[in-house]
Amino acid sequence: MMTTFQPPERLLLGPGPTNVSPRVLEALSRPTIGHLDPEFLRMMDELRTLLQYVFRTRNPVTFVVSGPGTAGMEAAVVNLVEPGDKVVVCKNGYFGERLQAMVERCGGQVVPVEFPWGRAVDPQKVEDTLKAHPDTRVVACVHAETSTGALSDVKTLAQVAHRYGALILVDAVTSLGGVPVEVDAWDLDVVYSGSQKCLSCVPGLAPVTVNARAMEVIRRRRTPVQSWFMDITLLTAYWHGETRRAYHHTAPVNALYALHEALRLIQEEGLEAVWARHHRVYEMFRPAVEALGLAYLTPEEERVPHLNVLQVPEGVDEAVLRRRLLTDFGIEIGGGLGRLAGQVWRIGLMGVNAHPRPALYALYALEQVLKQR
Amino acid sequence: MMTTFQPPERLLLGPGPTNVSPRVLEALSRPTIGHLDPEFLRMMDELRTLLQYVFRTRNPVTFVVSGPGTAGMEAAVVNLVEPGDKVVVCKNGYFGERLQAMVERCGGQVVPVEFPWGRAVDPQKVEDTLKAHPDTRVVACVHAETSTGALSDVKTLAQVAHRYGALILVDAVTSLGGVPVEVDAWDLDVVYSGSQKCLSCVPGLAPVTVNARAMEVIRRRRTPVQSWFMDITLLTAYWHGETRRAYHHTAPVNALYALHEALRLIQEEGLEAVWARHHRVYEMFRPAVEALGLAYLTPEEERVPHLNVLQVPEGVDEAVLRRRLLTDFGIEIGGGLGRLAGQVWRIGLMGVNAHPRPALYALYALEQVLKQR
For A57, the 3-state DSSP assignment is coil
The complex's ipTM works out to 0.97
Nearest to B87 by CA among B114, B73, B107: B107
- Cα B275-B278-B281 angle, rounded to 5 deg: 145
Chain A nearest C-alpha distance from B331 (Å): 10
| Residues in chain B within 8 Å Cβ distance of A40 | 7
Q: Is the peptide bond before A224 cis (omega within 30 degrees of 0)?
A: no
Neighbours of B101 (CB within 10 A): 17
User: How far apart are the C-alpha atoms of B335 and A1, rounded to whole Å?
Assistant: 39
| Per-position b or e across A174-200, b if 16+ CB within 10 A of its CB | bbbbbbebebeebebbbbbbbbbbbbb
Nearest to A116 by CA among A99, A93, A134: A93
Q: Give the best residue of A79, A89, A228 to mutate against chain B (max B CB count within 10 A).
A: A228
CATH level 2 (architecture), domain B22-266 = 3-Layer(aba) Sandwich (3.40)
Per DSSP, what are the bridge partners of residue A307? A348
| Residues in chain A within 8 Å Cβ distance of B35 | 17, 203
Asked if B255 and A202 come within 8 Å (Cβ–Cβ), the reply is yes
Portions of chain A given CATH number 3.90.1150.10: 11-16+271-372
Print pLDDT tens along chain A (373 aa): 799 999 999 999 999 999 999 999 999 999 999 999 999 999 999 999 999 999 999 999 999 999 999 999 999 999 999 999 999 999 999 999 999 999 999 999 999 999 999 999 999 999 999 999 999 999 999 999 999 999 999 999 999 999 999 999 999 999 999 999 999 999 999 999 999 999 999 999 999 999 999 999 999 999 999 999 999 999 988 888 766 788 899 999 999 999 999 999 999 999 999 999 999 999 999 999 999 999 999 999 999 999 999 999 999 999 999 999 999 999 999 999 999 999 999 999 999 999 999 999 999 999 999 998 6
* pLDDT attached to residue B373: 67
Asked if A31 and B9 come within 8 Å (Cβ–Cβ), the reply is yes
Asked if A5 and B46 come within 8 Å (Cβ–Cβ), the reply is yes
User: How far apart are the C-alpha atoms of B207 and B191, rounded to whole Å?
Assistant: 8
User: How far apart are the C-alpha atoms of B198 and B274, rounded to whole Å?
Assistant: 9
Nearest to A226 among B31, B43, B106 (CB): B106
| Residues in chain A within 8 Å Cβ distance of B261 | 4-5
Q: Assess A202–B contact: CB distance below 8 Å, yes or no.
A: yes
**Chain A residue with Cα closest to B194:** A250
User: How far apart are the C-alpha atoms of B87 and A335, rounded to whole Å?
Assistant: 43
Portions of chain A given CATH number 3.40.640.10: 22-266
Nearest to B68 among A30, A194, A250 (CB): A250
Q: Give the best residue of A6, A20, A29, A231 to mutate against chain B (max B CB count within 10 A).
A: A29
The answer for B 299-358 residues in CB contact with A (under 8 A) is 326, 332, 337
Yes or no: say if A200 and A263 are a contact pair by the CB < 8 Å rule: no
Query: Going along B66-160, which residue ranges are E strands?
Result: 86-91, 109-114, 136-142, 144-145, 150-151
Asked if B227 and A74 come within 8 Å (Cβ–Cβ), the reply is yes
The CATH code of the domain at A11-16+271-372 is 3.90.1150.10
Nearest to A101 by CA among A338, A335, A297, A304: A338
- Taking every pair of C-alpha atoms in chain A, what is the biggest distance, in angstroms? 65
**Chain A residue with Cα closest to B253:** A203
| Residues in chain A within 8 Å Cβ distance of B17 | 32-35, 250, 253
Yes or no: say if B203 and A250 are a contact pair by the CB < 8 Å rule: yes
User: How far apart are the C-alpha atoms of B333 and B10, rounded to whole Å?
Assistant: 10
Chain B nearest C-alpha distance from A131 (Å): 30
Q: Dihedral angle at the C-alpha atoms of B213, B214, B215, B216, nearest 10 degrees?
A: 50
Q: Which long-range contacts (CB under 8 A, 24 or more apart) does A216-222 make?
A: A217/A80, A217/A137, A217/A167, A218/A79, A218/A80, A221/A82, A222/A82
